[in-house]
Structure 1
Amino acid sequence: MEPGTLWSMGDYASNGDRWAAASRELAAETVRTGMTVLDIACGPGPFAIAAAHAGARATGLDAAPRLLEVAKQRAGDAGVAIEWIEADMTAVPLGDGAFDLVASAFGCMFAPDAEAMAAELVRLCRSGGRIAVLAWTPESAFGSMAPLVGPYLPGGGGASPVERWTRPENVKAVFAAQPVRLQFTVRTVDVVWDDLDHAVRDITENNPAWLGIRAAVAPTGRWSDLEADLRALLAARGRAEPGRFTLPVEYLETLAAKD
Structure 2
Amino acid sequence: MNANKELWEKGDFTRIAQGMRKSGESLAHTLGITPGLKVLDLGCGDGTTALPQARLGADVLGVDIAANLVAAGNRRANAEGLKNCRFQEGDACDLQGLSDSSFDLVVSIFGAMFAPRPLDVAREMVRVCKPGGRIVMGNWIPNDPTLVAQILKISASYMPPPPAGFVSPMAWGVESHVMERFAGAGIPRECISCQKQTYTFEFPDAPSTVVDTFRKFYGPTMGAFDAAAKTGQSDDLQRELEDLFQVQNQSTHQDATCIPATYLRVAVHVGKGNGF
TM-score, normalised with respect to structure 2: 0.87
Deviation of the 1:157 alpha carbon: 7.7
2:256 and 2:167 map into 1 onto residues whose CA distance is 31
Write the mapping of 1:47-66 to structure 2, written as runs, cut at 5 A. Answer: 47-66=49-68
Deviation of the 1:80 alpha carbon: 0.7
Q: 1:256 aligns with which of 244, 259, 268?
A: 268
**Secondary structure of the residue that 1:97 maps to in structure 2?**
coil
The one-letter code of the counterpart of 2:257 is F
Most deviating of 28-37 and 118-127? 28-37
2:200 and 2:24 map into 1 onto residues whose CA distance is 13
Change in CA separation of 1:106 and 1:59 when aligned onto 2, cut-off 3 Å: same
**Secondary structure of the residue that 1:52 maps to in structure 2?**
helix
Write the mapping of 1:4-15 to structure 2, written as runs, cut at 5 A. Answer: 4-15=5-16
Change in CA separation of 1:165 and 1:173 when aligned onto 2, cut-off 3 Å: same
Q: Which residue of 2 aligns with 1:121?
A: 125
Q: Which residue of 2 aligns with 1:34?
A: 36
The gaps in structure 2 that reach 5 residues or longer are 272-276
Write the mapping of 1:1-259 to structure 2, written as runs, cut at 5 A. Answer: 2=2, 3-30=4-31, 31-81=33-83, 82-93=85-96, 94-138=98-142, 139=144, 140-155=146-161, 161-180=168-187, 181-193=191-203, 194-242=205-253, 243-259=255-271
2:89 and 2:227 map into 1 onto residues whose CA distance is 28
Deviation of the 1:149 alpha carbon: 2.7
**Secondary structure of the residue that 2:18 maps to in structure 1?**
helix
1:178 and 1:24 map into 2 onto residues whose CA distance is 29
Change in CA separation of 1:84 and 1:185 when aligned onto 2, cut-off 3 Å: same
Pairs aligned (count):
259
2:251 and 2:51 map into 1 onto residues whose CA distance is 31
Q: Which residue of 1 aligns with 2:274?
A: none
The one-letter code of the counterpart of 2:171 is R
Displacement over 4 Å in runs of 4+: 156-160
The one-letter code of the counterpart of 1:103 is V
TM-superposition CA deviations, 1:46-92 (whole Å, max 9, x none): 22211211111111111211111111111012221123221222111
2:60 and 2:157 map into 1 onto residues whose CA distance is 41
1:179 and 1:157 map into 2 onto residues whose CA distance is 30
Deviation of the 1:9 alpha carbon: 2.0
